[in-house]
Protein backbone atom coordinates (compact mmCIF):
# COMPACT_ATOMS: atom_id res chain seq x y z
CA UNK A 1 0.00 0.00 0.00
CA UNK A 2 1.25 3.46 -0.88
CA UNK A 3 -0.13 6.66 0.62
CA UNK A 4 0.25 10.28 -0.45
CA UNK A 5 -1.36 13.43 0.95
CA UNK A 6 -2.31 16.68 -0.75
CA UNK A 7 -1.81 19.47 1.78
CA UNK A 8 -2.68 23.11 1.23
CA UNK A 9 -5.09 25.90 2.06
CA UNK A 10 -8.70 25.71 0.90
CA UNK A 11 -8.58 26.79 -2.74
CA UNK A 12 -5.05 25.53 -3.29
CA UNK A 13 -6.53 23.20 -5.90
CA UNK A 14 -6.39 19.89 -4.07
CA UNK A 15 -9.53 18.49 -5.71
CA UNK A 16 -8.56 19.53 -9.25
CA UNK A 17 -5.03 18.18 -8.87
CA UNK A 18 -6.29 14.97 -7.33
CA UNK A 19 -8.38 14.30 -10.43
CA UNK A 20 -5.32 14.74 -12.70
CA UNK A 21 -3.16 12.52 -10.51
CA UNK A 22 -5.86 9.86 -10.29
CA UNK A 23 -6.16 9.70 -14.08
CA UNK A 24 -2.38 9.49 -14.54
CA UNK A 25 -1.62 6.99 -11.76
CA UNK A 26 -4.68 5.11 -10.52
CA UNK A 27 -4.23 6.38 -6.96
CA UNK A 28 -7.58 6.22 -5.16
CA UNK A 29 -8.78 9.74 -4.36
CA UNK A 30 -10.06 10.02 -0.78
CA UNK A 31 -11.54 13.45 -0.03
CA UNK A 32 -12.96 13.78 3.48
CA UNK A 33 -14.86 16.90 2.33
CA UNK A 34 -16.55 14.92 -0.47
CA UNK A 35 -17.30 12.05 1.93
CA UNK A 36 -18.93 14.45 4.39
CA UNK A 37 -20.96 16.19 1.66
CA UNK A 38 -22.17 12.77 0.46
CA UNK A 39 -23.15 11.85 4.03
CA UNK A 40 -25.14 15.08 4.32
CA UNK A 41 -26.88 14.53 0.98
CA UNK A 42 -27.81 10.96 1.94
CA UNK A 43 -28.90 12.12 5.42
CA UNK A 44 -26.58 9.70 7.22
CA UNK A 45 -25.80 10.29 10.92
CA UNK A 46 -22.19 11.38 10.20
CA UNK A 47 -23.62 14.02 7.87
CA UNK A 48 -25.97 15.32 10.55
CA UNK A 49 -23.07 15.55 13.00
CA UNK A 50 -20.80 17.33 10.51
CA UNK A 51 -23.15 19.78 8.85
CA UNK A 52 -23.10 22.75 11.24
CA UNK A 53 -19.30 22.72 11.46
CA UNK A 54 -18.96 22.68 7.69
CA UNK A 55 -21.42 25.48 7.06
CA UNK A 56 -19.52 27.68 9.50
CA UNK A 57 -16.19 26.81 7.88
CA UNK A 58 -15.01 25.13 11.09
CA UNK A 59 -13.31 21.74 11.28
CA UNK A 60 -15.41 18.67 11.95
CA UNK A 61 -14.28 16.82 15.15
CA UNK A 62 -11.21 14.61 14.73
CA UNK A 63 -12.85 11.42 16.00
CA UNK A 64 -15.60 11.62 13.37
CA UNK A 65 -13.05 12.22 10.59
CA UNK A 66 -10.79 9.39 11.73
CA UNK A 67 -13.79 7.07 11.89
CA UNK A 68 -14.82 7.70 8.28
CA UNK A 69 -11.23 7.38 7.03
CA UNK A 70 -10.73 4.06 8.87
CA UNK A 71 -14.00 2.75 7.46
CA UNK A 72 -12.86 3.70 3.97
CA UNK A 73 -9.45 2.03 4.33
CA UNK A 74 -11.07 -1.11 5.72
CA UNK A 75 -13.00 -1.51 2.45
CA UNK A 76 -9.79 -1.53 0.35
CA UNK A 77 -7.21 -4.09 -0.76
CA UNK A 78 -3.60 -4.32 0.54
CA UNK A 79 -2.33 -3.34 -2.93
CA UNK A 80 -4.33 -0.07 -3.06
CA UNK A 81 -2.60 3.30 -3.41
CA UNK A 82 -4.35 6.19 -1.64
CA UNK A 83 -4.25 9.93 -2.18
CA UNK A 84 -5.80 11.92 0.68
CA UNK A 85 -7.23 15.33 -0.10
CA UNK A 86 -8.28 17.58 2.78
CA UNK A 87 -7.07 15.05 5.34
CA UNK A 88 -5.32 15.15 7.77
CA UNK A 89 -6.09 18.70 8.89
CA UNK A 90 -4.85 18.58 12.50
CA UNK A 91 -1.88 17.00 14.26
CA UNK A 92 -4.35 14.71 16.05
CA UNK A 93 -5.66 13.46 12.69
CA UNK A 94 -2.10 13.00 11.38
CA UNK A 95 -1.23 10.87 14.43
CA UNK A 96 -4.44 8.87 14.01
CA UNK A 97 -3.57 8.26 10.35
CA UNK A 98 -0.05 7.10 11.25
CA UNK A 99 -1.49 4.63 13.77
CA UNK A 100 -4.06 3.29 11.32
CA UNK A 101 -1.50 2.88 8.53
CA UNK A 102 0.95 1.17 10.90
CA UNK A 103 -1.70 -1.50 11.56
CA UNK A 104 -1.82 -2.06 7.80
CA UNK A 105 2.00 -2.23 7.52
CA UNK A 106 1.94 1.05 5.64
CA UNK A 107 3.01 4.66 6.16
CA UNK A 108 2.66 8.13 4.64
CA UNK A 109 5.06 8.09 1.67
CA UNK A 110 4.87 11.69 0.41
CA UNK A 111 3.04 14.86 1.40
CA UNK A 112 2.62 17.40 -1.40
CA UNK A 113 2.33 20.94 -0.09
CA UNK A 114 0.44 23.02 -2.66
CA UNK A 115 1.74 26.57 -2.39
CA UNK A 116 -0.54 29.39 -3.59
CA UNK A 117 -0.60 33.15 -2.78
CA UNK A 118 -3.59 34.20 -0.63
CA UNK A 119 -5.09 36.62 -3.21
CA UNK A 120 -5.24 33.78 -5.72
CA UNK A 121 -6.97 31.55 -3.18
CA UNK A 122 -9.77 34.00 -2.43
CA UNK A 123 -10.54 34.56 -6.11
CA UNK A 124 -10.46 30.83 -6.81
CA UNK A 125 -12.89 29.95 -4.03
CA UNK A 126 -15.42 32.67 -4.74
CA UNK A 127 -15.53 31.69 -8.45
CA UNK A 128 -15.62 27.95 -7.84
CA UNK A 129 -18.60 25.97 -9.17
CA UNK A 130 -19.25 22.27 -8.65
CA UNK A 131 -21.38 19.72 -10.49
CA UNK A 132 -24.29 18.53 -8.35
CA UNK A 133 -24.26 15.13 -10.03
CA UNK A 134 -20.62 14.08 -10.52
CA UNK A 135 -18.65 16.54 -8.35
CA UNK A 136 -16.53 17.92 -11.23
CA UNK A 137 -14.97 21.28 -10.30
CA UNK A 138 -15.13 24.43 -12.48
CA UNK A 139 -14.29 28.11 -12.10
CA UNK A 140 -16.34 30.92 -13.65
CA UNK A 141 -13.27 32.41 -15.36
CA UNK A 142 -10.30 30.03 -14.91
CA UNK A 143 -11.99 26.72 -15.81
CA UNK A 144 -15.37 27.61 -17.34
CA UNK A 145 -17.76 24.88 -18.47
CA UNK A 146 -18.65 24.98 -22.19
CA UNK A 147 -22.25 25.92 -21.38
CA UNK A 148 -22.68 28.20 -18.36
CA UNK A 149 -24.07 26.36 -15.33
CA UNK A 150 -23.92 22.92 -17.01
CA UNK A 151 -21.33 20.18 -16.42
CA UNK A 152 -19.24 19.26 -19.52
CA UNK A 153 -18.84 15.71 -18.32
CA UNK A 154 -22.36 14.67 -17.34
CA UNK A 155 -24.75 17.54 -18.11
CA UNK A 156 -25.44 18.04 -14.38
CA UNK A 157 -26.22 21.43 -12.81
CA UNK A 158 -23.33 23.50 -11.40
CA UNK A 159 -23.69 25.15 -7.99
CA UNK A 160 -21.66 27.19 -5.51
CA UNK A 161 -20.83 25.38 -2.26
CA UNK A 162 -22.50 27.17 0.70
CA UNK A 163 -19.09 27.45 2.40
CA UNK A 164 -17.58 29.21 -0.64
CA UNK A 165 -19.36 32.46 0.30
CA UNK A 166 -16.85 35.24 0.98
CA UNK A 167 -17.34 35.40 4.75
CA UNK A 168 -16.96 31.65 5.23
CA UNK A 169 -13.94 31.57 2.90
CA UNK A 170 -12.10 34.02 5.17
CA UNK A 171 -12.91 31.88 8.20
CA UNK A 172 -11.71 28.71 6.44
CA UNK A 173 -8.39 30.39 5.64
CA UNK A 174 -8.03 31.42 9.26
CA UNK A 175 -8.82 27.88 10.42
CA UNK A 176 -6.19 26.57 8.01
CA UNK A 177 -3.53 28.87 9.47
CA UNK A 178 -4.53 28.07 13.03
CA UNK A 179 -5.05 24.30 12.83
CA UNK A 180 -3.61 22.84 9.65
CA UNK A 181 -0.45 24.80 8.83
CA UNK A 182 1.40 23.07 11.69
CA UNK A 183 1.26 19.88 9.62
CA UNK A 184 3.89 21.40 7.32
CA UNK A 185 6.48 21.16 10.08
CA UNK A 186 5.14 17.81 11.25
CA UNK A 187 5.73 16.20 7.85
CA UNK A 188 8.88 18.19 7.10
CA UNK A 189 10.49 16.71 10.21
CA UNK A 190 9.60 13.22 8.96
CA UNK A 191 11.33 14.01 5.65
CA UNK A 192 8.27 13.38 3.47
CA UNK A 193 7.24 16.94 2.57
CA UNK A 194 7.42 17.93 -1.11
CA UNK A 195 6.60 21.49 -2.23
CA UNK A 196 4.59 22.12 -5.39
CA UNK A 197 3.89 25.50 -6.97
CA UNK A 198 0.11 25.44 -7.34
CA UNK A 199 -0.34 29.14 -8.05
CA UNK A 200 -0.27 28.90 -11.86
CA UNK A 201 -2.44 26.52 -13.87
CA UNK A 202 -3.88 23.15 -12.82
CA UNK A 203 -1.96 21.53 -15.73
CA UNK A 204 1.40 22.92 -14.59
CA UNK A 205 0.79 22.01 -10.95
CA UNK A 206 -0.30 18.48 -11.90
CA UNK A 207 2.78 18.00 -14.10
CA UNK A 208 5.10 19.22 -11.34
CA UNK A 209 3.46 16.93 -8.79
CA UNK A 210 3.65 13.91 -11.11
CA UNK A 211 7.33 14.50 -11.83
CA UNK A 212 8.08 14.67 -8.12
CA UNK A 213 5.95 11.59 -7.48
CA UNK A 214 7.78 9.60 -10.13
CA UNK A 215 11.20 10.59 -8.76
CA UNK A 216 10.38 9.34 -5.25
Which residues belong to the active site?
A: 14, 89, 128, 161, 172
Write the DSSP string, the chain.
-EEEEEE--TTS-HHHHHHHHHHHH-PEEEEHHHHHHHHHHTT-HHHHHHHHHHHHTPPPPHHHHHHHHHHHHHTS-TT-EEEEES---SHHHHHHHHHHHHHTT----EEEEEE--HHHHHHHHHTEEEETTT--EEETTTB--SSTTB-TTT-PBEE--GGGSHHHHHHHHHHIIIIITHHHHHHHHTT-EEEEE-SS-HHHHHHHHHHHHHT-
Looking at the Cβ atoms of 28 and 53, the one nearer to ligand ADP is: 53
The distance of closest approach from Cβ of residue 18 to ligand ADP in the complex, given in angstroms and rounded to an integer, is: 10
Binding flag, residue 33, ligand ADP (CB under 6 A)? yes
Q: Beta partners for 110?
A: 4
Using the rule CB under 6 A, is 53 a contact of ligand ADP? yes
Residue 36 in contact with ligand ADP, rule: CB under 6 A? yes
- In the range 149-188, which residues lie near ligand ADP by CB under 6 A? 163, 172
86 binds, among Zn ion, ligand ADP, none (CB under 5 to 8 A by kind): ligand ADP
Query: Considering CB under 6 A, how many residues would be counted as binding ligand ADP?
Result: 20
Binding pattern for the stretch 96-135 against ligand ADP, x by CB under 6 A and - elsewhere:
----------------------------------------
Binding region for ligand ADP (CB under 6 A): 10-11, 14, 32-33, 36, 53-54, 57-60, 65, 86-89, 93, 163, 172
Which residues bind to Zn ion, rule: CB under 5 A? 131, 133-134, 136, 151, 153-154, 156
Amino acid sequence: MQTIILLGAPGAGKGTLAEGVRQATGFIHVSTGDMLRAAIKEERSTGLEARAFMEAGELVPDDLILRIVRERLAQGQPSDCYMFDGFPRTIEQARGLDATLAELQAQVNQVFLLEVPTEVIVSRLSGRRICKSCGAVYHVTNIPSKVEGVCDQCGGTLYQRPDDSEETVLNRLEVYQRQTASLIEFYESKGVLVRVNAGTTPQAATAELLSKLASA
